Chain A
Amino acid sequence: MSCKAVNTVLGIELIEIPDWNCCGSIDAVYAYNPLLSIALSTRNLSLAENMKMDIVTLCSACYFTLSRANKVLREDASLKGKIDKVINDAGLKYAGEVKVRHYLDVLANDVGFDKISQYVKLPLKGLKVAPYYGCLLVRPPKISNFDDPEHPTSMDNLITALGAQSVNYPDKTKCCGASLAITDESVMLEMTKSLLLDAKDLEADCIVMPCPMCHFNLDAKQKDIESHFNIKIDLPILYITQLIGLAFELDPKELGLHRNVVSPKRLLNRLKNA
């Protein structure tokens, strides 16, 4: 939603893959049956290849999963043979021409933060933002190589380009617990709690991040963390394009900010009065 709004300003056109399927996630399908996981990803790659386009994902986990399929198909000829047979039966083919990229990579390396800063109408002055990259956006380096796997800076630079202040966030690449939210909730609550509390410690006004899966844990589960540990956090979690949209002075409704579980109202009021 916020991505569409920001794309209109930046002149980026993303076309949804018609009839896309779930990539099978990092491990959910892969652990059950690796061949099935790679085949599901390949179906999406094949549909994109039909469109003669590369894939841009807004999710770090899809980014990893689709890229992994590309990588193993390239490296393992016997697996490629098996997958070809499976998807040919399904009426598809895949030559291996599609690149998989994350949207942040496109912003950083195709659009450029200099250009983005030219569209800023409301510099986010005085706003302290913690950049949370999470796990699979920048690693493993064999799959993601547009930023440093240990100390990435692209989102920090984006925050600065928008006029806000990026806090020096030590948890920027720590894991939020991902699907443990469903299978082992208390472990995930513990993992995400430390991310949120560290951002609070650094007096961040919000966390900005690039993945809907992490967003679920940091935003939608924040209430559960508060009640489980009997603490107050109340830290708004913004997807990257929501923050960009605010600096572009787009309507918060258009950016879907009313759909965030932790209300960003206080943040919006501050920006309005700045």
Chain B
Amino acid sequence: MKSEVAHRHITAQAIDPLFTEKVKKMRGGENILDCIQCGVCAGSCHARFAMDYSPMQIIKMVQLGMRQPVLESSTIWICASCYSCATRCPRGIDIPALMSGLKNIAMANNVPCAIETKPKFHKTFVEILRKYGRMHEPQLQMKLINKTNPKELFRNASLGLRLWRKGKIKLQPPKLENSASIATIFENTLKNEEE
């Protein structure tokens, strides 16, 4: 009996049908069951070379309820939202929105990501906007780079200097006049999400 279970590729224990239902409720996931596995997304993706699963495979895995491997995949983090795939998808699936939604679930559940910078990027981006209402690139970069790696530190310092010399970044953080309205927006939306 045991061997019969072992030779099946996907065991029932690894399947979570509720995951599929959850994804169907997100933007980009509404029509995920319409996917016919034609592969046009996989063939159109310019970042496919860096992904472990193609977008087509991710969609199939979501259909099957393979929660863990989907949320642990590099694919959802590599997608740059360029919309090549969604422009061509014959079933009208908003694949980049789906990838964003999967990232959202991964972050909300603290699913470990092979590249630590990935979830940290989103968190830091939001923190900086909450503080200033606009982006302050030097802070974003400084918070994300691995400061214990001298080579990385040096390369980023040289990029920063290059941009600063050309007047493309300012050391002074930005400031909005009506920062109270930004604070309210953050407070209300982040609260809403918890409900």
Contact = CB atoms under 8 A, between A and B. Distances in A.
Interface residues of A, number: 59
Contacts of B125: 25, 28-29, 32
Contacts of B184: 86, 89-91
Interface string A160-188: 00000000000001110111101110010
A31 interface: yes
A184 B87 contact: no
B86 to A, nearest CB: 5
B87 A149 contact: yes
A220 B122 contact: no
Given A139-B87, A184-B115, A177 B103 contact: no
B129 A24 contact: yes
A26 B47 contact: no
A91 B159 CA distance: 40
B115 A89 contact: no
Name the interface size band of chain B: 35 or more
B77 A86 contact: no
Interface in A1-54: 18-22, 24-36, 39-40, 43
Interface of B: 27, 46-47, 49-50, 77-78, 80-84, 86-87, 94, 96, 99-101, 103-104, 107, 115, 117-118, 121-123, 125-126, 129, 133-135, 140-141, 144, 155, 159, 162-163, 166-168, 176-178, 180-182, 184-186, 188-190, 192-193
5 contacts: A32-B123, A85-B188, A90-B185, A177-B47, A184-B77
Interface of A: 18-22, 24-36, 39-40, 43, 72, 82, 85-87, 89-92, 134-136, 139-141, 149-150, 173-175, 177-180, 182-184, 187, 190-191, 220-221, 223-224, 258-261
